[in-house]
Amino acid sequence: MLDPSTTLARLGGIARGTQLQRLGLSRRALAEEVAQGRIRRIRPGVFAVPALSIDVAAAAGHGGAMTCGSALRHHGVWVLDDPETLHVWLGRNGRIHPHPGCVCVAHFFEGPTRFGVVDIETALLHLYRCGGDEAFFASFESAWRRGQLPRTARNRVRDALPDVARWLVDVARGDADSGLESLVRLRLHLLGIRLDCQVRIRGVGKVDFVIAGRLILEADGKKNHDGRSARHKDLVRDAAASRLGYETLRFDYAQILYDWPTVQAAILAALTRLAD
């Protein structure tokens, strides 16, 4: 007889009892393995290896597979949405299974009900339908930057999007250092403002954006700009840029995500000053 734990591992760590029974594992054998702690019962009829990810197990408990922003975050992609919310793909005809502490978002997009974590392309398409243009664009550029979306994959994603959304792939780039940069560039693109991205300035270093040849725009994420040392380096860079005739505007995560009107007004005012 097959070893239930090994069989589950070969099936991706999780499977329905009916699938395991077709492979020759009896209900009694599965129950014994659960009792011995060698496999887990996620819910009636669904079994997994003990080491299965908490989120993957929660998605299966809900009735499907991790998708959308949850799957992208699992794959290491930058995601705009709340990390505490679990997005679950139930397929077209899946069924929600209530479970304690459920904060899941169920997606009934076309396809069969499955378990595990969906691939990046599928997750991006689900994210577009769930989160809209900005969420999709930031994650798309992040996945591209990480080398997880080769040209053929980008083309498949573009072809699968609605016609009205394909421009998002057309204006995307593979050199955005953070999702914040992607959001800033997309929002300014919609305002008709052209940016030079990832510009190296002698005596200053690489900056996120330069607008109109004189305005430096920096999107300061938490990762590289927290702490006194990082703050000091930023001030030194800004002083060097000023010495060369640049004006620098620097915005942090909270400003870009939650106070964009103020950010936009500051950028437009600076461009007006520089045009005088």
Q: What is the pLDDT of residues 50-83, one digit of tens each?
A: 999 999 999 999 999 999 999 999 999 999 988 8
Question: According to the model, what pLDDT value does residue 112 have?
Answer: 87
Query: Is residue 100 scored above 80 in pLDDT?
Result: no
Q: Assess whether pLDDT exceeds 90 at residue 167.
A: yes
Residues 65, 126: Cα–Cα separation, whole Å: 12
* Summary mean pLDDT of the chain: 91
Residue 5, pLDDT score: 87
Give the mean model confidence (pLDDT) for residues 104-126.
93
How do residues 227-258 score in pLDDT, each as one tens digit? 566 778 888 888 988 898 899 999 999 999 99
Q: Is the pLDDT of residue 3 over 50?
A: yes
CA nearest to 117, candidates 52, 161, 179, 178: 52
For the cut 50, the answer to whether the pLDDT of residue 89 exceeds it is: yes
Residues of the chain with CATH 3.40.960.10: 175-276
| Structure-token match 């005809």, residue found | 93
pLDDT class of 225 with cuts at 50, 70, 90? very low
Instruction: Tell me which CATH homologous superfamily contains domain 175-276.
Output: VSR Endonuclease (3.40.960.10)
- Can you give the pLDDT at residue 228? 62
Percent share of the chain, pLDDT over 90? 70
Task: Determine phi and psi for 249, rounding to 5 degrees.
Answer: -115, 130
pLDDT of amino acid 72: 97
Answer yes or no: is pLDDT of 155 > 50: yes
The 3-state secondary structure of 41-75 reads EEECCEEECCCCCHHHHHHHHHCCEECHHHHHHHC
Q: Select the more confidently predicted residue: 155 or 221.
A: 155
Q: What's the rounded Cα separation, in Å, for the pair 218 and 208?
A: 5
